């Protein structure tokens, strides 16, 4: 596995070593010892989740408030998404900045998003199967988010807004300026 640290501290892109032949392929998708050695700390993933979405589906920008904040290790099993993390750590020099990466079933890259970030993804292929590990339980009362189209965060979504498929809940998320009035991490 190749671990690449991103411009925003804490975010890591993981590129697996893929062994392929005429039968197909094999790769190690997670190795706790290697992951924690690279991270420099223990992460106890407690749950795996999977979603299926069609093209244009945008899920996010989501996070959970303390004490239920979650770190995530995300990947795409089939299809292609634009995956985005926004730094919500007030003490960070990159506070409010976003980082995006294409994850796909073809490139098999994974993206580690630590606690202190909002997370979203946009499906670029006809469909996508998105999988992720989390290190804390889902707590509906601590569920929160920031609007995907906030001008201050300024994420460059590659599908025009009129073609996005967004849940009613996600359409009602806070602006970043409202979030900054009452930070929730």
Residues tagged active-site: 62, 132
Q: Are 86 and 118 in contact (CB under 8 A)?
A: yes
d(CA 63, CA 161): 22
Closest CA to 142 of 50, 37, 62, 73: 62
According to DSSP, the residues that pair with 118 across neighbouring strands are: 86
Exposed / middle / buried, residue 65 (Cβ in 10 Å: 0-12, 13-18, 19+):
middle
Chain centroid to CA 109: 12
């Amino acid at each position: 596995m190749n671990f690449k640290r991103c411009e925003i501290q804490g975010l890591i892109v993981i590129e697996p070593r893929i062994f392929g032949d005429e039968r197909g392929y094999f790769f190690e998708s997670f190795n706790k010892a290697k992951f924690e050695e690279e991270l420099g700390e223990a992460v106890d993933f407690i749950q795996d989740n999977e979603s299926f979405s069609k093209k244009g589906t945008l899920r996010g920008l989501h996070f959970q408030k303390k004490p239920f904040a979650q770190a995530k290790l995300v990947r795409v099993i089939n299809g292609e998404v634009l995956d985005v993390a926004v730094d919500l750590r007030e003490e960070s020099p990159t506070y409010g900045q976003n980082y995006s990466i294409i994850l796909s079933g073809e490139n098999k890259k994974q993206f580690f998003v630590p606690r202190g970030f909002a997370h979203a993804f946009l499906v670029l292929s006809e469909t996508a199967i998105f999988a992720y590990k989390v290190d804390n339980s889902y707590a509906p009362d601590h569920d929160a988010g920031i609007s995907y189209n906030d001008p201050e965060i300024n994420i460059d979504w590659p599908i025009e807004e009129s073609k996005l498929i967004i849940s009613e809940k996600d359409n009602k998320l806070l602006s970043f300026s409202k979030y900054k009035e009452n930070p929730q991490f």
